[in-house]
Structure 1
Amino acid sequence: MRLIPVTLTCLLFVSCLFWPSLLIADERFQVQRVQAVEHIIEVRRQGTLAFLREYRRAFKTAGYVKALNVDVGQTFQQGDTLAQLDISELLQQRQRIQARLTFIGNELLRLNRLLDRKLVSPSSVESMQAEHDQLQAQLSELNYNINKSTIKADFDGVVLARQVNQDELVQPGQSALVVTPLRDNWVVEVTVSADERLGLKPGQKHRIYLPALDQEFSAPIRILAQSPITNSQLYRVALALPAKADFVKGLVAEVTFQLQRANVYPIPHQAIIRSHQGQAEIMLSQDDRYKTQKFAVLDMDERYSYLAAQQSTIQVVTNSWIAH
């Protein structure tokens, strides 16, 4: 019989210990009504101002550099002569070949007349014709080399590098100048992760800010790499910018990508009980009852975690930490 009072005493003790604490917790909970809102998920990356295309210009024939009309940093117009080889020897060689062709042409006329009268053998005509054809081929190649001894600008641009000097002997295909167009050629290059790349499409416009110039642009994606950079899990993205006189290659650019729009709950960080692997657990209030629930974390900033919304509104306990 003495066991019963002891048991009741223990139950009363436990009740006094826990029941009042739950009441106190309920009274101290701060509940906030949170409305689902549309949120633009942003990712900020740092990139650099660059040229989309750079071209190497080379002579197609060997020779000594006779003229260099541009240097690094100088601009040029379409049709300008940028560099030229000394072609005096080529011109002399062409003159000799043309003279020989004139002679052979006259000889062929004479031999054909004699052949009609059967005064010469056909082999004599064939031999002369073979030499004529060979010289014609040499003349065509020579004219090609003469035409390619000059580097002309095929667009308005600027010189990025000069790789030969005046009077230097160059070989066919040896790079002489690195040039780039000035129009439709400025981009900001940046890298993104595979997950971030999934939210991007060519032509999408995103915000670019150039701190050094205090200029802001809405720039479309011009290049979106299909494969990652070698030995990396990052993808190259190039956003097109209009040409500006004060642009300098290599300037730092701040890029803000707007990856997607989603309905979210903006939850203050102090309301998060715990978070793990992209999930955040919060305490909800419904009909004077409390429960914890997990939501996917889509984004966050200095004040809020943005959780994927499942309905229009929820009642969130913003100080649920007092119960733990």
Structure 2
Amino acid sequence: MNKSIMLASGLTGLLIIWMLSGSNDAPVEEEVSQSSEGEKLMSVVVKSSDAQLVAKKITVQGQVEPNRVLSLKTEVDGKIIALPLALGSRVKKGDVLAKVSLKTRIAQREQAVANVAYQTQELAATKKLFDRKLESGSRLSLQQANLAAAKASLQQIDYDIKNSTISAPFDGVFDRRYVELGDYLDKGQQVVSLVDDLQLKITAMVPQQQVDGLVLGQDVTASLINGEAITGALSFISATADENTRSYRIEVLVDNNDHRRLVGMTASLDIPVKEVEGHLVSASSISLDNQGRLQVKAVNEDNEVVAYPVTIVRTDSDKVWLSGLPAHVSLITLGQDFVIAGQTVQVSQG
């Protein structure tokens, strides 16, 4: 009996709860509807931007090299008898860098001079006899050949004597020495190395897609690893691409009148290639679309969000120059992450 009473009481309670919940259905729908009708537009802040001409730049890595490095070799054989300058000395054109012993060349020259004189006299005598038909033509030709050989021998000795002294062909730095005093050298052996650091060249490789925009003589700025920035003129563009990298070698000439020690440093070259219309925007305004492309968001005349795909022209400090936007555009600077293309928004000027 008690169980029946308890069961009846439970069913009655459930019925009351169901009736109460049913009576509230209509007011809930009404509240939701009112909430939907009263929804406010998303607010964004925009800033007007007009396109400007901006120089597009490419950046490549390179290194500083001397304009000229010359390895001087001996043109005569002999013993090194003088190395008058210290390694690292700054030299002028014509300064003596090394001397090779003349050995017996002075005596050989005296003999060669005498032989030339003798062969000259012999040729004169033979010619007189030939004119009188007392000597054959072959004898005359032989004497002419003897004189020519004597003169050639003298010229060779004079050449050896002149080149026994190794001099600087240009102003520069005595950078390397490959011999020591007393060494015996064979003809063609390296003696010293001379570096021309009055003018430097910065070399780099430019990708094949970007080489067409380069112009000989244009200014190029290089940022060195020590923080220094130097400017020079583009002096060389290779006519052919590297077989492995498909990139082109370039050279930029830079004056170095102060003889700063920059050779061997790495450099980052900023090379302007052409002018394009662009907008300067904050890097925070750039996002990615569903396909992973760069985009920025703006609003049109109807306050609808428009997403524009863009391309980076160059970067300046914390801002970025972009192409791909209309000449005049209202860019969203605040709230762009919370709106989508086609959405109507409430706009305020920033």
TM-score normalised by L of structure 1: 0.76
Q: Retained in 1: the 8 A contact 2:174–2:193?
A: yes
Q: State the Cα distance separating 1:202 from its structure 2 match.
A: 2.0
Q: Is 1:218 the equivalent of 2:234?
A: no
Q: Is 1:265 the equivalent of 2:283?
A: no
**Cα separation, 2, equivalents of 1:194 and 1:53:** 27
**Cα separation, 2, equivalents of 1:202 and 1:175:** 36
Q: State the Cα distance separating 1:310 from its structure 2 match.
A: 2.6
Alignment partner, residue 247 of structure 1: 261
Q: Deviations over 1:214-236 (max 9, x none)?
A: 65433222233333445324433
Q: State the Cα distance separating 1:124 from its structure 2 match.
A: 4.7
1:245 match: secondary structure: coil
Amino acid at match of 1:314: S
Q: State the Cα distance separating 1:67 from its structure 2 match.
A: 2.2
**Cα separation, 2, equivalents of 1:315 and 1:251:** 42
- Matching residue within 309, 312, 315 for 2:325: 309
**Cα separation, 2, equivalents of 1:233 and 1:116:** 73
Within a 5 Å distance, the mapping from 1:152-163 to structure 2 comes to 152-163=167-178
Amino acid at match of 1:197: V
Alignment partner, residue 206 of structure 1: 220
For residues 123 and 288 of structure 1, do their structure 2 counterparts lie closer, same or farther at Cα, with a shift above 3 Å needed?
Answer: closer
For residues 126 and 149 of structure 1, do their structure 2 counterparts lie closer, same or farther at Cα, with a shift above 3 Å needed?
Answer: same
**Cα separation, 2, equivalents of 1:311 and 1:23:** 34
Within a 5 Å distance, the mapping from 1:106-117 to structure 2 comes to 106-113=121-128
Within a 5 Å distance, the mapping from 1:20-35 to structure 2 comes to 20=36, 24=40, 26-35=41-50
1:164 match: secondary structure: coil
2:119 match: secondary structure: helix
The alignment covers a number of residue pairs equal to 308
Between the aligned residues of both structures, percent identity stands at: 19
Q: Is 1:179 the equivalent of 2:188?
A: no
Alignment partner, residue 58 of structure 1: 73
Within a 5 Å distance, the mapping from 1:33-182 to structure 2 comes to 33-113=48-128, 124-182=139-197
Q: Retained in 2: the 8 A contact 1:267–1:307?
A: no
For residues 207 and 284 of structure 1, do their structure 2 counterparts lie closer, same or farther at Cα, with a shift above 3 Å needed?
Answer: same
Q: State the Cα distance separating 1:125 from its structure 2 match.
A: 4.7
Moved over 6 A (4+): none
Larger CA Rg, structure 1 vs 2: 2
Alignment partner, residue 238 of structure 1: 251
Name stretches of at least 5 consecutive residues in structure 2 with no aligned partner.
1-28, 341-350
TM-score normalised by L of structure 2: 0.71
Q: Retained in 1: the 8 A contact 2:67–2:196?
A: no
**Cα separation, 1, equivalents of 2:167 and 2:284:** 66
For residues 208 and 297 of structure 1, do their structure 2 counterparts lie closer, same or farther at Cα, with a shift above 3 Å needed?
Answer: closer
Q: Retained in 2: the 8 A contact 1:209–1:253?
A: yes
Q: Deviations over 1:185-228 (max 9, x none)?
A: 2233344333443333222223334464x654332222333334
